[in-house]
Structure 1
Amino acid sequence: MKIAFIAHDGKKADLVNFAKAYESILSKHELYSTGTTGTRIMEQTKLQLHRFKSGPLGGDQEIGALIAKNLMDIVIFFRDPLTPQPHEPDILALLRLCDVYSIPLATNMGTAEILIHGLERGDLNWRTLIHEKENENK
């Protein structure tokens, strides 16, 4: 599965701690992130991530482009709802794309844990079936 990580500044430490806690599960998947978030995760874990630009510089949109092509399976986006973000329209566009393409999205620790446990149990294997069907249609 392809998993994207995004975190606002006030939530980066939480996302790093999440990645540390679930490193053994996450290490079995392709991981992506926006700039600083990915750097911090890689500095504090053994996980390797493909890093895009930082969110305000287009990283959210780069991840959104993968979602629109059905090339992302899960998005874990620890948002800071109490701090205004200058790129709020980009954030809302990313959330909308997750809904349009039925991409599982966690915006907080509780939901992220449910997704990761579901991933480990095989509850998200339907994403693999979607990829297989797309490959058949090519």
Structure 2
Amino acid sequence: MKIALIAHDKKKEAIIQFTTSYQHIFQKHQLFATGTTGKRIQEATGLPVHRFQSGPLGGDQQIGARIAENEMDLVIFFRDPLTAQPHEPDISALMRLCDVYQIPLVTNLAGAEIMIRALEAGFFAWRELVKEDEAN
């Protein structure tokens, strides 16, 4: 599966701890991330991460484009709801695309814990079946 990892500045440490804790699961999937988040995950885990621009420089939009092209399966986005983000319209657009294209999106640690356990259990096999049907 193709998984996007995004975190606002005040949540970067949390997503790094999360990916480190579940490295054994993430290593089985293709990882994508916005700039600094991806760099810090790579440094902490050694996992390969395709890095886009940072969020404010268009990284959220780049991930959104992948969603629109059916090239992303899951988005884990540790948002900071207490700090104003200068690129909030981009964040809203990304979340909208997840809804439009039925891409699972979690925005906090509690949701991510549930999602990663579901991923580990194989509950996302339907995404691969949908892609195979679309290819045929």
Report the 3-state secondary structure (helix = DSSP H, G, I; strand = E; otherwise coil) of the residue aligned with 1:4.
Answer: strand
5+ unaligned residues in a row in structure 1: which ranges? Answer: none
TM-score, normalised to structure 2, is 0.99
Q: What code does the residue aligned with 2:115 have?
A: L
Question: 1:77 matched to which residue of 2?
Answer: 77
Question: 1:123 matched to which residue of 2?
Answer: 123
Q: What code does the residue aligned with 2:53 have?
A: K
Question: 1:44 matched to which residue of 2?
Answer: 44
Report the 3-state secondary structure (helix = DSSP H, G, I; strand = E; otherwise coil) of the residue aligned with 1:129.
Answer: helix
CA shift, 1:130, in A, is: 1.1
CA shift, 1:134, in A, is: 1.4
- Distance in 1 (alpha carbons) for counterparts of 2:57 and 2:89: 13
Q: Does residue 63 of the first structure (1) align with residue 63 of the second (2)?
A: yes
- Distance in 2 (alpha carbons) for counterparts of 1:106 and 1:22: 16
- Distance in 2 (alpha carbons) for counterparts of 1:55 and 1:71: 18
CA shift, 1:51, in A, is: 0.1
CA shift, 1:135, in A, is: 1.1
- Distance in 1 (alpha carbons) for counterparts of 2:54 and 2:63: 11
Question: 1:86 matched to which residue of 2?
Answer: 86
Deviations 1:102-137 (A, max 9, x none): 10101000101111110111111110011101111x
Give me the identity figure in percent.
63
- Distance in 2 (alpha carbons) for counterparts of 1:76 and 1:11: 12
Deviations 1:7-55 (A, max 9, x none): 0000000000000000000000000000000000011112110000000
Question: 1:9 matched to which residue of 2?
Answer: 9
Q: Does residue 100 of the first structure (1) align with residue 100 of the second (2)?
A: yes
5+ unaligned residues in a row in structure 2: which ranges? Answer: none
How many pairs does the alignment contain? 136
Q: What code does the residue aligned with 1:59 have?
A: G
- Distance in 1 (alpha carbons) for counterparts of 2:5 and 2:51: 10
- Distance in 1 (alpha carbons) for counterparts of 2:26 and 2:56: 25
CA shift, 1:61, in A, is: 0.2
Query: Structure 1 runs of 4+ off > 4 angstroms?
Result: none
